[in-house]
Amino acid sequence: MKKVLFALAALTMLLCAVMTASAADDAIRMVYWPGPESDAMQVVIDYWNANMAEEAGFTVDMELFGRDNIMLKQEALMAAKSADVDLFFTASRWLGKYWMHMEPLQPYLDNPEVNIYGADTEGRIPATVDGFRWLDGTLYGVPMDLSNHFLYYRTDLIDELLSNEEWKATYKKIALEQLGEELEPKEPAEWTWTDYLAASFFFTKAYNPDSPTEYGNFTHGKVMGPTAFLWTNCYWSFGGDWFDADGKVNFDNEAARQALSIWKTSFEKGLTPASSVNGEFAEDNEAMIAGQVAMTVHWNAGYATIDAEESPVHGKIAVCAPPAGPEGHFAYNHTLGVGISKYSEHKEQAARWAAWLYTDEAAKLYAEAGGIAPSKMVLADMSDQFPVYGYMVDVLNAYGKNLPPTAGIIEDMACGALADAWNGAVDFDTALAQLQADATEEMSYWE
Amino acid sequence: MKSLKKNKKLTGFLLLLPLTIWLVAFALYPILYGLRLSFFNARINNIDNPNFIGFQNYVKLFSNSEFASSLLWSLKFALIATFIQMLLGILIAWLFQRDFPGKGLATTLILLPMVVAPFLMGTMFRLLFNESVGPIAYLLSGLTGTTALLGMAWVNQTIIGADTINRMPFVFINMYSAMQGVPQELLEAATMDGANAVQKLVHITIPTISSIFGITFLEKLLQSFLIFELISAMTAGGPGTFTQSVSIFIYRRAFQRSDYGMACAASFSLALILLVPSLYLVRRNTKGDK
């Protein structure tokens, strides 16, 4: 019996030694966000490990930390100064919270011994590269996956509205009753937010019993940063911004009240499904696919699902920039990507991999696998295969705007206060004054 | 003899040692570390070198209206959910005291939700209550007049309903097993004296199981007060902060805003708030046993 136990103990120790040795091989570890983005990244990694690893001297492993709360888990590694991973997952809007735990990338890109591919940042859309710079201009990451907002609408319904005289008359009448203006139906690309509301009233059964849809629009209301970003398109169009030119918090103003009133009208008047106060990406897709709503300001990533071949509304969906305010149209965008951990014990290898990710070769592999690499060449070349890429280029070139890297610091308090205001729990003045005070105080801890 | 006693002591000490080390490392140390952090401005940008701010986190916490409203929401939710679940749990346990066809299957079905993780339960409910495609939302619309069960008008009731499905089995199983221990002769004697079923429940069964009843009530009340997973999955505390429980408040402070100092201050304040009723009820139950 003793001999058996001894043999088992010896075997266990041997296995541990083998596993430790294999874990310590020449692999670097990168955290990524599971979903279509990681599916695309896996293709890029597989290509690297099969074709590039020998020359580079290392392979790459991807660690998926779960889509929800990925930053929570990374924060634990950052706080512990853990060397367990070599590259962190990040996003342009989060950089302000985490840059101090990441390694500046430019010195590595400038070092030909590390950047053996001669890669530079020129191939990427400049705004997406700038999204990975801290306020002093230091570059901390590689933009890998671009997201933006569109106005989605049902082409069959809008075409009918623009051609059917009876519908036009009803539209004018409802606009006059509800908004105090006799508005003419227009092409969605020319809409102001008032046109958006007028169309929403028209396509809501409670105001137009002949409406083919139950509700006019789907407005995201769930308490989460992305909901506040959707509202930000409207806020920008009225001349507001999260921070002023001096970088000071800037919420307590008239532009915010006007933008909030657009959102609140949708919830208060029932132009959006009542549950949308707790709705986000998935619920929006469901509402569009179910034919429950006629339009929505929504993420580009929803296009593949809403217009999928099996979708009942396939072929009846079009996108354009979100509606305009007095300052014009704006289309929010942000970028997901990776940056080198300050605590990595393989910084040069991580930097070589990051440099290669900047190449068009990597961007093309990523995009072909379903990711949305923010590469000028790739998005333009692949727009025949993925039409949404072409729409993104068009909309972002004309109206693209992003939030500064410090936005992530206050996004949670912003979405909480704004949501309380648009669902009517708190009046605009109270919500905005509180948000202004809280966000200003919070920013003082990050200076 | 002495050496035997000494050996016994040493053995006892050695047996306790692993658990003690475990508790110190994974319970006591984190608690003390959290308590320390509650006196610091500690965020992810200065976690290396947080600055001491004394009681400032506590002062700010108790002047924070969001914290106050989340405490109030949790209290209301705990009282209502506990009342409903205790009532239902006792009634179902009482009905299950007699035999009927399919009792085994019915018991299994009632207990099934208890073994599902609350977060998973919340995710399932989020789909089932979906306004556009949710079957439960559709079926209940005859009763509620709307499929928008996660909208402002129905979200609180929906969360209480979901929590009842998830947690009521805990009350049921405790009450059911306690009722099994009620002496049959007492019930038979009461029947002979002409007591009806409700009288026997109120005057014999409930007083006999009062100790288990008290502990179950306390456990359920604390569970409901600290509810997190179900809300996180179903509403994340929304619309706005409308269903923000105190646990969601702490979570958002710590992991959305990275304000660890304030989150620790809120956690310790909550622990102190809950300590008073917990000790009172434990003491009352202990006295009852004696």
Q: What is the CATH number of the domain that holds B188?
A: 1.10.3720.10
How much is the pLDDT for A21?
47
Contact A98 B150 (CB under 8 A): no
Question: Measured between alpha carbons, how far is residue A21 from residues A13, A17, A56, B175 in Å?
Answer: 12, 6, 20, 54
Residue A197, min C-alpha distance to chain B (Å): 21
Return the SS3 of A221: coil
Residue of B nearest to A278 (CA): B239
Q: Is the pLDDT of residue B195 over 70?
A: yes
User: What value of ipTM does the predicted structure carry?
Assistant: 0.82
Contact A425 B239 (CB under 8 A): yes
Domain count of chain B?
A: 1
| Contact residues, chain B, for A445 at CB < 8 Å | 41, 43, 45-46
Contact B132 A283 (CB under 8 A): yes
Domain that holds residue B283: 65-289
Contact B258 A97 (CB under 8 A): yes
- Bridge partner residues of A148 (DSSP): A333
Q: Are A375 and A122 in contact (CB under 8 A)?
A: no
Helix (H) or strand (E) holding B272: helix B260-289
Q: Give DSSP secondary structure letters for B10-39.
A: HHHHHHHHHHHHHHIIIIIHHHHHHHHHTT
Residue of A nearest to B47 (CA): A79
pLDDT in tens, A227-243: 999 999 999 999 999 99
Mean pLDDT of all residues in A85-96: 94
- Assess if residue B38 is contained within a domain: no
Residue of B nearest to A220 (CA): B239
Question: Measured between alpha carbons, how far is residue A411 from residues A95, A417, B187 in Å?
Answer: 13, 10, 62
- Assess if residue B247 is contained within a domain: yes
pLDDT in tens, A392-432: 989 988 999 989 999 999 999 999 999 999 999 899 999 99
B2 HSE (CA, 13 A, CB side): 0
Q: Which of A162, A131, A158, A156 is nearest to A145 (CA)?
A: A131
Helix (H) or strand (E) holding A64: strand A59-64
Pick from A69, A278, A442: CB nearest B239: A278
How much is the pLDDT for A341?
97
Report the residue of B131, B136, B158, B251 to disrupt the A interface, i.e. the one with the largest count of A CBs within 10 Å: B131
- Assess if residue B212 is contained within a domain: yes
- Assess if residue B21 is contained within a domain: no
Q: Is the pLDDT of residue B247 over 90?
A: yes
Write down the mean pLDDT value for chain A.
92
Pairing status of strand A317-320 against strand A87-91: unpaired
- Assess if residue B285 is contained within a domain: yes
Residue B252, min C-alpha distance to chain A (Å): 8
Q: Give DSSP secondary structure letters for A113-163.
A: TT-TT---STTB-HHHHHTTB-TT--B--EEEEEEEEEEEEEHHHHHHHHH
Question: Measured between alpha carbons, how far is residue B196 from residues A189, B93, B100, B200, B210 in Å?
Answer: 74, 17, 20, 6, 20
Residue B43 has which token pair?
């965020």
How much is the pLDDT for A24?
47
- Assess if residue B218 is contained within a domain: yes
Q: Is the pLDDT of residue A22 over 60?
A: no
| Contact residues, chain A, for B257 at CB < 8 Å | 409, 412-413, 442
Report d(CA A337, CA A87) in Å as an integer: 10
Task: Spell out the domains of chain A, with CATH numbers in brackets.
Answer: 2-146+334-400 (3.40.190.10), 148-333+404-444 (3.40.190.10)
Residue B254 has which token pair?
């710590």
Inform me whether the C-beta atom of residue A291 falls under 8 Å from chain B C-beta atoms: no
- Assess if residue B8 is contained within a domain: no
How much is the pLDDT for B30?
93
Whole-number CA gyration radius for chain A: 25
Pick from B132, B151, B242: CB nearest A286: B132
More confident residue, B203 or B287: B203
Contact B239 A286 (CB under 8 A): no
Q: What percent of chain A has pLDDT over 70?
A: 94
Q: Chains A and B: how many Cβ contacts under 8 Å?
A: 114
- Assess if residue B46 is contained within a domain: no
| Contact residues, chain A, for B46 at CB < 8 Å | 445
How much is the pLDDT for B287?
66
Report d(CA A361, CA A370) in Å as an integer: 15
Pick from B43, B235, B255: CB nearest A278: B235
How much is the pLDDT for A2?
58
Pairing status of strand A27-32 against strand A59-64: parallel
pLDDT in tens, B32-48: 999 999 999 999 999 98
A234 CB-contact burial (10 Å; exposed 0-12 / middle 13-18 / buried 19+) = buried
**Which residues 391-410 of A are in CB contact (within 8 Å) with B?**
409
How much is the pLDDT for A137?
93
Question: At A217, is the pLDDT very low, low, confident or very high (cuts 50, 70, 90)?
Answer: very high
Q: Is the pLDDT of residue B131 over 90?
A: no
Q: Which of B154, B244, B190 is nearest to A222 (CA)?
A: B244
| Contact residues, chain B, for A409 at CB < 8 Å | 257
Contact A277 B256 (CB under 8 A): no
Mean pLDDT of all residues in A119-146: 92
Question: At A117, is the pLDDT very low, low, confident or very high (cuts 50, 70, 90)?
Answer: very high
Q: Is the pLDDT of residue A23 over 60?
A: no
Residue B231 has which token pair?
């809300």
Report d(CA A288, CA A281) in Å as an integer: 11
| Contact residues, chain B, for A79 at CB < 8 Å | 44, 47
Inform me whether the C-beta atom of residue A223 falls under 8 Å from chain B C-beta atoms: yes
Inform me whether the C-beta atom of residue A72 falls under 8 Å from chain B C-beta atoms: yes
Pairing status of strand A317-320 against strand A142-154: antiparallel
| Contact residues, chain A, for B235 at CB < 8 Å | 222-223, 278
How much is the pLDDT for A12?
59
